Amino acid sequence: MKTTQQNLKSTVLILGDQINRNIASLSERAPEDTRILFVEITDKFSNKQWHKQKVHLLRSAMKHFAQDLKDEGFEIDYRKAKNLEKGVVAHKKEYGATSVIAMEPMNWNGKQVLERLNIDLVRNNQFLCHYEDFAEWTLNKTKFKMEDFYRWQRKRLDILMEGSSPCEGKWNFDHDNRERPPRDGREWPSITLFKQDDIDDEILQNLDDFWGAAPRGIWPVTRKQALIRLDEFVTGALTAFGPFEDAMLGNEWKLAHSVLSSSLNIGLLHPMEVVRAVEQSYKNGDAPINSAEGFIRQVIGWREYVWGLYWLWMPEYKSENFLKAERSIPPAFLEKESTNMSCINGAMNHLYEYAYTHHIERLMLFGNLSLTSGINPQEMTNWMWSRFIDGAEWVMMPNVIGMATYADGGKMATKPYASGGAYVNRMSDYCSSCVYDPKKRTGNDACPFTTLYWDFLERNENQLSGNPRMGQQFGGLRRLSDLPEVKIRASEILTKLDDGTL
């Protein structure tokens, strides 16, 4: 046990997604009265399907933050433990700490653990709308949707507002942000590759067993690096972001996307500073309204809406499986070059090399194939959580269960995001080099997306036909003259998907 003077200090536990000096549990603390506890959880990384770059990010960010706090004068207890509970108990025993303080975790299970350990919890300040405030917003609403929440956020936070009205008279400029990918071979905004230091080098030596390409300085692990990445987006990519935010290119992994999500999700950046930087760029005349509004909607609308829904519906939400989908993760999602589908191969290459794909590749490629083939939503959630650099339970669960797989039966999305190959062909350059034809639903060269789209509707007609937004789709299904052939082709596709020969 440590000395009596050390015992008088309060212990602040900092979790791996709270890497910021201004978190609620730390902002008013000083080295004289506070000791810092970090617990690196070894069980978390026992699954070797985790992406190398994600393992590196989480470990490196924690260790760099611990070093920053040590340099500030704080006493640091950085320890490894099988789980969080063992780490906290061992710390209390060694230091004689009678109480431990922490900011609320991002995830429901983490909060249960800390409450069991009698940790003194303070309100999480990493979002602009706390989940309790979100729950209050939903009261007395029989129905609510993200657009309503987003407008409420804009008003109360005074973001992109001119008095009580939205800038330029409209709330949403989404119709300006659906341009097809340019085919002119243009260069897309570049990003700084950060130099790796001794902390990084030590972590890199222990990543061989994990999946994916090795880290090479893409993802910020310090606050300074995250601020550089924010400035690069606002000054170099924001203008192009809006028009092409839904476009996909095989040879371009990020286009003009911000790649700030990992920094936001582990606390290196706060959403308000990101939003204000984008808003100021618009006010200065450096970025068009459609780009600024489109990005801000992702941050204060979608991101915060997902956070609120996660807490509103947990813990029952994690087990939802409305369509009773039970297919396992296919080989096409496990390794590069495991399918002849050009789009899935391209997205898998992005995922392998960067631990990242942007939101349309996630929803309309991985999510769409998961939905139409019937991949189990819980398996899909775990897969995305382990492979994506910005994956967290609160992020992936609503996005997979609610959006990608419609496993919640429509609590979150008003209809399933199922699509045939025509969408992929319109919004990407993948189809031109693919052995499958997006226009065909039968035959050996029929696009799996096109075939499975119709098969999905037929398989799930009883569950979905009452949805008022799907009348046109089911009308089209009933007019199909070759439905028996479609179902035969769908069966062949699903067999090939399962055995890795698609």
Q: What distance in Å separates the CA atoms of residue 317 and residue 307, rounded to the nearest whole number?
A: 13
From 52, 55, 333, 350, select the one nearest 211 (Cα to Cα).
Answer: 52
pLDDT at 3 over 80: no
DSSP 243-258: TTTT-BBTTBSSTT--
For residue 435, what are the contacts with CB-CB under 8 A and spacing of at least 6? Answer: 340, 342, 445
pLDDT at 216 over 60: yes
Q: Burial of 461 by CB count in 10 Å (0-12 exposed, 13-18 middle, 19+ buried)?
A: middle
Q: Encoding tokens for residue 57?
A: 């990010």
Instruction: Find the range with the poorest average confidence among 6-10, 364-368, 480-484.
Output: 6-10
365-407 pLDDT, tens per residue? 999 999 999 999 999 999 999 999 999 999 999 999 999 999 9
pLDDT at 301 over 90: yes
265-294 pLDDT, tens per residue? 999 999 999 999 999 999 999 999 999 999
The average pLDDT across 147-164 equals 96
> What is the pLDDT confidence band of residue 496, given thresholds at 50, 70 and 90?
very high
pLDDT at 86 over 60: yes
pLDDT at 319 over 70: yes
Q: Where are the domains of the chain?
A: 4-122, 131-189+237-313, 319-499
pLDDT at 1 over 60: no
Residue with tokens 């699954």: 47
Beta bridge mates, 78: 38
Q: Which CATH architecture has domain 319-499?
A: Orthogonal Bundle (1.10)
pLDDT at 5: 52
pLDDT at 7: 63
pLDDT at 248: 96
> What is the pLDDT confidence band of residue 76, given thresholds at 50, 70 and 90?
very high
pLDDT cut 70: percent of the chain above it: 99
190-210 pLDDT, tens per residue? 999 999 999 999 999 999 999
Q: Which fold has domain 4-122?
A: Rossmann fold (3.40.50)
pLDDT at 190: 94
> What is the pLDDT confidence band of residue 465, given thresholds at 50, 70 and 90?
confident
CATH 3.40.50.1100 describes domain 131-189+237-313: no
Strand 161-162 and strand 165-166: the pairing is antiparallel
Helices (H) and strands (E) in the chain, counts: 23, 7
pLDDT at 2: 60
pLDDT at 336: 92
pLDDT at 320: 97
What average pLDDT is seen over the chain? 95
Q: Output phi, psi for 148, to 5 deg.
A: -65, -45
The average pLDDT across 143-152 equals 94
pLDDT at 254: 96
pLDDT at 342: 97
pLDDT at 335 over 90: yes
The average pLDDT across 402-428 equals 95
Q: Cβ–Cβ contacts within 10 Å for residue 172, how many?
A: 16
The average pLDDT across 139-164 equals 94
pLDDT at 339 over 60: yes
